[in-house]
Chain A
Amino acid sequence: DTGVSQNPRHKITKRGQNVTFRCDPISEHNRLYWYRQTLGQGPEFLTYFQNEAQLEKSRLLSDRFSAERPKGSFSTLEIQRTEQGDSAMYLCASSLAKGHANTGELFFGEGSRLTVL
């Protein structure tokens, strides 16, 4: 399967614990995005990378959230000291972008569902 891969698919944790999600994008894609989706809402942008550089972060991304893409390939999203409000589906997407343009199709993974008890 050469699509976007995310793991774990489901994570249940207790409030205050740290969690980490991993995303493996389509191999030739240079951009990688993280979105969050809660019930009844559309996906909300969190952050994106072009290669290894994190180019934009949403105000939704509090200090407890950190994302990395160390070698421009896979990415991790870590949430420290989880809160119940962090319960959501975390979606990863990748695309092939040319220069600064962002008109390429985003290919989404199946998401990582986080439940914070």
Chain B
Amino acid sequence: AQSVTQPDIHITVSEGASLELRCNYSYGATPYLFWYVQSPGQGLQLLLKYFSGDTLVQGIKGFEAEFKRSQSSFNLRKPSVHWSDAAEYFCALNSGYSTLTFGKGTMLLVSP
């Protein structure tokens, strides 16, 4: 079975500070990994995805994520957070043939 764990339910970051959101997965092989963002009242928007190759992937809005096989992790990072980044972030995986399995999400709060 595949699963995704996002250990942090809420994170508060000061505007301009760096951000790292944690994601750990459980899957028997190398999964396809995704980060989505959901703003209030909005649908989920894809930030970035990892399929293979370079383990550091760049996404939209200045986000990046690093796949670490040894740690079964796919953490999301941003060097400088903007107030507009406040939203809920979901990590997800699939096998390439299965449907997406999501984590429970991390709510990002940005303080002035």
**Which residues of chain A have a CB within 8 Å of any CB of chain B?**
3-4, 33, 40-45, 48, 56, 91, 93, 100-103, 105-111
Contact = CB atoms under 8 A, between A and B. Distances in A.
B98 A102 contact: yes
Nearest to A43: B102
Interface of B: 4, 6, 9, 32, 36, 41-46, 49, 51, 90, 92, 94-105
A101 B32 CA distance: 11
B52 to A, nearest CB: 10
B32 A103 contact: yes
Contacts of B49: 105
A36 B6 CA distance: 18
A111 B88 CA distance: 15
Contact of A108 (B6, B45, B98, B104): B45
A109 B43 contact: yes
Contact of B43 (A4, A41, A100): A4
Contacts of A4: 43
Given A40-B104, A42-B104, A43-B102, A100 B44 contact: no
Contacts of A108: 36, 43-45
B43 A45 contact: no
B90 A101 contact: no
Given A102-B97, A103-B51, A42 B43 contact: no
B96 A103 contact: yes
Given A42-B92, A102-B98, A106-B100, 4 more contacts: A33-B100, A45-B99, A45-B101, A93-B44
Contact of A41 (B94, B96, B104): B104
Given A91-B43, A106-B46, A108-B44, A42 B102 contact: yes
A33 to B, nearest CB: 7
Contacts of B42: 110
8 smallest CB-CB distances across A and B, nearest first, come from A42-B102, A108-B43, A108-B44, A110-B43, A45-B99, A42-B104, A43-B102, A42-B105
A40 B38 CA distance: 13
Contacts of A48: 99
A67 to B, nearest CB: 14
